Amino acid sequence: MPITQKLACDVKDLGLTAKGRTRIEWAGQWMPVLNLIRKRFVEEQPLKGIRIAACLHVTTETANLAITLRDGGADVVVCASNPLSTQDDVAACLVQDSHIPVFAIKGEDNDTYYSHIASALDHKPQITMDDGADLVTTILTKRQELVSGVIGGTEETTTGVIRLRSMAKDGVLKYPIIAVNDADTKHLFDNRYGTGQSTVDGVIRATNLLFAGLHVVVAGYGWCGHGVAMRAKGLGAQVAVTEINPTRGIEAVMDGLQVMPMAEAAQWGDVFITVTGNKSVIRGEHFQAMKDGAVVANSGHFNVELDLPALEAMSIAKRQTREFVDEYTLPDKRKIYVLGEGRLINLVAAEGHPAVVMDMSFADQALCVEYIVKHAQQLVPKVYPVPTEIDQTVARLKLESLGVTIDKLTPEQEEYLASWSEGT
Ligand SMILES: NC(=O)c1ccc[n+]([C@@H]2O[C@H](COP(=O)([O-])OP(=O)(O)OC[C@H]3O[C@@H](n4cnc5c(N)ncnc54)[C@H](O)[C@@H]3O)[C@@H](O)[C@H]2O)c1
């Protein structure tokens, strides 16, 4: 019996392995920085024997990260960070070819989702790798016996970092976490260009709408919002932004976008995309004001940005009209179309971020894991930024991989920048 069949795992169908294999290879060729790290990891084995639980979107890029960690000597297990974001062929291939246990099935219900997290934690991780802080939260609330064995963790996304910072503030965080999301080489590229392109891609794949000429409302003008708005505008849409932060609001104005409250935007928009990390951003009163045929999607981490229970309650009928498109009929016969059950549409209906951008995010992840192993003794339970050295290394390697060179400071310039008396 092949070793893989003995692995404890829960994936949809191991028969999907061949499809997953070529797709993982395809992503891998666009991840040169991660590949360099992987080569070094193979030689140096910096993660030898370290148990890692990775709760991430199970995509082709994540597969390349998991393989890199394994090649660095780690004992890795993977579970999904969202019930709808798993690519089942990737999950199968990780199990069958790479002998990495995976607990993830696209479309799993909430109970299965949490049972998969529990299975990953049965692995007794020394390092947790989260996208949304579900592993940390589960350890701290339900599996406290694991805390003493954990040396640290990493967090991939804005919402996770926010959750972890409030745990640290309340004194309940019990081990150190590195906020990978906050690295420049992560959020400036992954959140902006990755979410921007893949979210629009998800909306288009789900609906086949033509963006040119549409009124697109982007709720939240953070890094993801910048990307979504920029790409929608690039496709010819008119874009309006809703915000609660005045600085971000004025930034959107000066970026040439319309800015208005959601109450107004609800009447103006044809397509709505939330990327705030906040809850109930589009509520009953907003659905009530929308045009017939309005399309509503979310690309923020949790499925709480759209108040779907309110829409459900005010609708007289609901049916699925296309894959990932639910049609809600209001009493006056207007239709509202909700994509991907309000879950992050770029991972539900498209493939998530392109590998080129995940190359940097996951290079940060791999190097942060190595950093935690090396510095375990010095780290205390709090949320740490990604060390500048790692951030800069990833940027430098990415530029090199693109064949782009930049200037170096001359000694005179270095002295000038370091001095306060120059220029007087
Ligand atoms: N879909 C993906 O693949 C993906 C990738 C990265 C991040 N994310 C998630 O997307 C969300 C946004 O991430 P980000 O990095 O852009 O965060 P961010 O903090 O940079 O931006 C969020 C913005 O939303 C605004 N906001 C908050 N509440 C609002 C409200 N009620 N109405 C309008 N605006 C509001 C904030 O002022 C802020 O400007 C998070 O949940 C993050 O975890 C998703």
Which pLDDT belongs to residue 421?
81
* CA 181, chain centre distance (Å): 9
Q: Measured between alpha carbons, how far is 128 from 114 in angstroms, rounded to an integer?
A: 16
All residues at 6 or more sequence positions from 221 whose CB lies less than 8 Å from its CB, including other chains: 229, 241, 243, 245, 248, 249, 251, 252, 257
Alpha carbon of 225 to ligand 1 centroid (Å): 7
| pLDDT tens-digit readout, 165-224 | 999 999 999 999 999 999 999 999 999 999 999 999 999 999 999 999 999 999 999 999
* CA 297, chain centre distance (Å): 16
Alpha carbon of 143 to ligand 1 centroid (Å): 29
Alpha carbon of 7 to ligand 1 centroid (Å): 37
Which pLDDT belongs to residue 420?
87
Cβ atoms of 266 and 242 within 8 Å: the answer is no
Task: Choose the residue to mutate in 224, 242, 273, 346 for probing ligand 1, maximizing ligand atoms within 8 Å of C-beta.
Answer: 224
Which pLDDT belongs to residue 12?
98
Alpha carbon separation from 81 to 22, 131, 157, 163, 168 (Å, rounded): 23, 6, 11, 15, 21
Cα torsion through 15, 18, 23, 24, rounded to 10: 90
Nearest-atom index, ligand 1, CA of 353: 3
Tell me the pTM: 0.94
- Give residue for tokens 């979410």: 195
Q: Which of 233, 320, 314, 245 lies closest to 273, judged by CA?
A: 233
Q: Which amino acid is at 97?
A: D
Which pLDDT belongs to residue 301?
94
Which pLDDT belongs to residue 6?
55
Which pLDDT belongs to residue 423?
63
- Residue 67's Cβ-side half-sphere holds a number of Cα atoms within 13 Å equal to 26
Q: Measured between alpha carbons, how far is 292 from 317 in angstroms, rounded to an integer?
A: 14
pLDDT < 70: residue spans in the chain: 1-6, 422-424
| pLDDT tens-digit readout, 48-57 | 999 999 999 9
Q: Burial of 344 by CB count in 10 Å (0-12 exposed, 13-18 middle, 19+ buried)? A: buried
Q: Which of 163, 197, 158 lies closest to 180, judged by CA?
A: 158
Q: Is the CB of 158 under 6 A from ligand 1?
A: yes
| pLDDT tens-digit readout, 11-47 | 999 999 999 999 999 999 999 999 999 999 999 999 9
Q: Which of 71, 115, 66, 69 lies closest to 87, judged by CA?
A: 66
Alpha carbon of 340 to ligand 1 centroid (Å): 18
Q: Is the CB of 180 under 6 A from ligand 1?
A: no
Alpha carbon of 183 to ligand 1 centroid (Å): 16
Q: Is the CB of 395 under 6 A from ligand 1?
A: no
* Beta-bridge partner residues of 274: 219, 298
Q: Is the CB of 301 under 6 A from ligand 1?
A: yes
Strand-strand pairing, 317-322 and 271-274 = unpaired
Q: In what order do the strands lie in the sheet with 258-259?
A: 258-259, 238-242, 215-219, 271-274, 294-298, 335-339, 325-329, 317-322
Which pLDDT belongs to residue 110?
95
Q: Is the CB of 85 under 6 A from ligand 1?
A: no
Which pLDDT belongs to residue 41?
98
Nearest-atom index, ligand 1, CA of 223: 16
Q: Is the CB of 346 under 6 A from ligand 1?
A: yes
Q: Measured between alpha carbons, how far is 285 from 283 in angstroms, rounded to an integer?
A: 6
Q: Is the CB of 224 under 6 A from ligand 1?
A: yes
First to last CA, the chain: 77
